[in-house]
Chain A
Amino acid sequence: MLTLHPTKKSAEQTQLITKHSLHESLLHFRILLAEDNEINQKLVLRLLEKKGYRVTVANNGQEALSIWEKDPVDLILMDVQMPKMDGLETTMAIRKKEEKTGKHVPIIAMTAHAMQEDKGKCFEAGMNEYLTKPISPKELIDIIESKINE
């Protein structure tokens, strides 16, 4: 488990006061990042930690599934193409297990395939949202905040 130490600049601080409730809720918001590419893993991890999220990293789908089973998180960022178990298979496995608990963790796909067909596959597998790679920090944070507010 990676814990974060947010560094606040004065402008951010002012923003955090006005968004106090959001800030409070994100301190407890846990994200599982499933990504096999080391560089993209570091990039996304840094962006999330700077925002103050608690992030756990999985290097492939299998790892993501076993982490999620032991310690359910609030949101999953799921790379689609990963070795061992890809993002689609992992999502399907999670959704199947959730049938017993009635829970539903938001799963955000991250993929370089910008084609409509691939988008359809993500939704069919049970993913809720879709981010195109390379990841835009703004889109990433917006999508997570929209899930916190749901």
Chain B
Amino acid sequence: MNNFIGSIPIDLASALERTGGEMDFLEELIEMFIGDFDEKYSALKDAVNQKDAVQVRELAHSLKGSSASLGFTALQKTFFQLETAGRDNNLFDAEKKLDLLLSQFNELKTYLENRNKTEQD
């Protein structure tokens, strides 16, 4: 867990503030986000491959919104870049952003799993 200090993928304090301090509720929403991620990521990937800028903008916008609410700062930033790329119809480096998203998502998942383990110990 200590490996993540300096680049913590979730701003837990802000996220908790947004759920009115309810940790269980926040966890429920995080699980929902993680459970839906694969499906939403593939849709985004399809849109990038098909060079459908409008679809890229809409999907990235929605994912950016959820990430922002849950305090996933790194993901939020990348989704925002993809949303902007879609809006500007400039999908030039969108594929790179997709790779970045995947590594940021995996980092988040590892962080949360380690956090749960530490709590159980």
Contact = CB atoms under 8 A, between A and B. Distances in A.
A38 interface: yes
Contact of A137 (B17, B29, B68, B70): B17
A39 B61 contact: no
Interface residues of A, number: 18
Interface residues of B, number: 19
Contacts of B66: 37-40
Interface stretch (B1-9, B18-26, B98-106, B111-119): B18-26
A135 B68 CA distance: 9
Interface of B: 14, 17-20, 22, 25, 29, 32-33, 58, 61-62, 64-66, 68-70
Interface string A35-51: 01111101100110010
Contacts of B19: 43, 46
Contacts of A47: 20
Contact of A39 (B20, B33, B58): B33
A135 B20 contact: no
A8 interface: no
A81 to B, nearest CB: 6
A43 B64 contact: no
Contacts of B20: 46-47, 50, 137
A112 interface: yes
A135 B58 CA distance: 19
Nearest to B33: A39
Given A39-B29, A39-B65, A134-B69, 11 more contacts: A37-B62, A38-B32, A39-B32, A39-B66, A43-B18, A43-B19, A43-B69, A46-B25, A81-B58, A133-B69, A137-B17
A134 B62 contact: no
B74 to A, nearest CB: 15
Contacts of A37: 62, 65-66
A120 interface: no
6 contacts: A37-B66, A39-B66, A39-B69, A81-B58, A81-B61, A134-B68
